[in-house]
């Protein structure tokens, strides 16, 4: 996994936009090394391109939205998590609307689409962003931090005063198989009162039990129940993978979050990027990457277990 990867072929799929309620079509296309992930609003003339990077995030309320001038693409986090989780570094994303379709509320449909397209490896090495010093953001009882680690890992805990959720905690030591098998299919969730409020304000027009876990006073309303007993915290980790991918590089560090969401995730990425003393960019050689933390690389001497 030392070389940059893109899609083997293009793949097209459609789904309902969570907030607009309209059918939106997306085409994922291969991209050259060094391109990154770029969204193209092809419903506009001329088309407007937006690089999926933390610097272009314009809204983090309810989802993560990127923009270029007045043009935006919202709810990108699940697709970004799928691209990162499948090892895709470079991709063009043609989209004919202002939001990524919600699909089933998880990243699994996007993972399936990427698997259908296939993956193509380039001959250009990746650059890894390796955390050297801790970086933290705290707002009230919410906290998100990233600390040095030998691996990319996300630990998350949440608490809601509701018997269907209560307190949940889980960690992901990131590998493609761990993400695909244990986190990609975890769905977004909301409380029934929130849904009613959003719809009253013209939002969540495409929301349903087919694309979100809805929690009522007596518990989960979805007739099929939960996919995992702790699906809520698994989805929060999924969101974190997508939001942290906007750092622009593969990460080596341990993200620790408590009651965090898109806003705090984004602030953590921005705080990290503006503090170059807290990270280094490393391009591994094939020999070094076979055992990157067991060889005498001076750049890695400060890493802890």
Which of 40, 92, 254, 262 is catalytic? The answer is 262
| Ranges for all domains in the chain classified under CATH 3.30.1700.10 | 128-284
pTM: predicted TM-score of the whole model, two decimal places: 0.93
- Report residue 289's pLDDT band, with 50, 70 and 90 as the boundaries: low
Total residues found in the chain within this entry = 305
| 235 is known to lie in a ligand binding site | yes
Stretch among 52-56, 181-185, 200-204, 248-252 having the lowest mean pLDDT: 200-204
Residues 180 and 171: their CA atoms lie apart, in Å, by: 14
pLDDT for residue 286 is more than 70: no
Residues 256 and 140: their CA atoms lie apart, in Å, by: 16
Query: So what's the pLDDT on residue 177?
Result: 92
Q: Catalytic residue at 254?
A: no
| 243 is known to lie in a ligand binding site | no
Residues 6 or more apart from 287 whose CB is under 8 A from it?
none
194 or 292, higher pLDDT: 194
Percent of the chain with pLDDT over 90: 84
Query: So what's the pLDDT on residue 163?
Result: 87
| Ranges for all domains in the chain classified under CATH 3.30.230.20 | 3-125
Token readout for 93 is 């994303």
Residues 242 and 54: their CA atoms lie apart, in Å, by: 11
Cis peptide before 46 (omega within 30 of 0): yes
Please provide the CATH number assigned to the domain covering 3-125. Answer: 3.30.230.20
Name 194's bridge partners.
Answer: none
Whether 107 contacts 31, CB under 8 Å: no
Percent of the chain with pLDDT over 70: 93
Residues 6 or more apart from 212 whose CB is under 8 A from it?
18, 102, 105, 187, 188, 189, 190
| 266 is known to lie in a ligand binding site | no
Residues 189 and 227: their CA atoms lie apart, in Å, by: 12
CATH T-level fold of 128-284: lpxc deacetylase, domain 1 (3.30.1700)
Query: So what's the pLDDT on residue 248?
Result: 96
What are the distances in angstroms from CA 293 to CA 57, 213, 255, 296? Answer: 33, 40, 19, 8
- Report residue 202's pLDDT band, with 50, 70 and 90 as the boundaries: confident
């Amino acid at each position: 996994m030392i070389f940059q990867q893109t899609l083997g072929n293009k793949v097209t799929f459609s789904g309902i936009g969570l907030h607009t309620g309209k059918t939106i079509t997306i085409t994922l296309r291969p991209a050259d090394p060094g391109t990154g992930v770029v969204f193209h609003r092809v419903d506009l003339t001329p088309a407007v391109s937006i690089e999926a990077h933390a610097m272009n995030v314009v809204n983090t309320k309810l989802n993560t939205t990127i923009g270029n001038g007045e043009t935006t693409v919202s709810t990108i986090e699940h697709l970004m998590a799928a691209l990162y989780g499948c090892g895709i570094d470079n991709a063009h994303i043609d989209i004919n609307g202002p939001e990524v379709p919600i699909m089933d509320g998880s990243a699994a449909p996007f993972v399936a689409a990427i698997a259908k397209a296939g993956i193509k490896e380039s001959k250009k090495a990746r650059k890894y962003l390796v955390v050297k010093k801790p970086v933290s953001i705290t707002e009230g009882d919410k906290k998100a931090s990233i600390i040095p680690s030998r691996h990319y890992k996300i630990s998350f805990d949440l608490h809601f005063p509701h018997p269907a959720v209560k307190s949940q905690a889980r960690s992901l030591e990131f590998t493609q198989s761990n993400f695909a098998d244990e986190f990609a299919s975890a769905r977004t969730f909301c409380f029934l009162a929130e849904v009613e409020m959003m719809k009253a304000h013209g939002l969540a027009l495409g929301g349903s039990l087919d694309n979100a876990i809805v929690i009522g006073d007596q518990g989960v309303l979805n007739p099929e129940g939960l996919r995992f007993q702790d699906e809520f915290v698994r989805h929060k980790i999924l969101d974190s993978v997508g939001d942290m991918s906007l750092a622009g590089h593969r990460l080596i560090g341990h993200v620790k979050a408590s009651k965090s969401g898109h806003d705090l995730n984004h602030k953590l990425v921005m705080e990290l990027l503006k503090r170059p003393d807290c990270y280094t960019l490393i391009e591994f050689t094939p020999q070094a990457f076979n055992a990157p933390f067991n060889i005498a690389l001076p750049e890695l001497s400060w890493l802890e277990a």
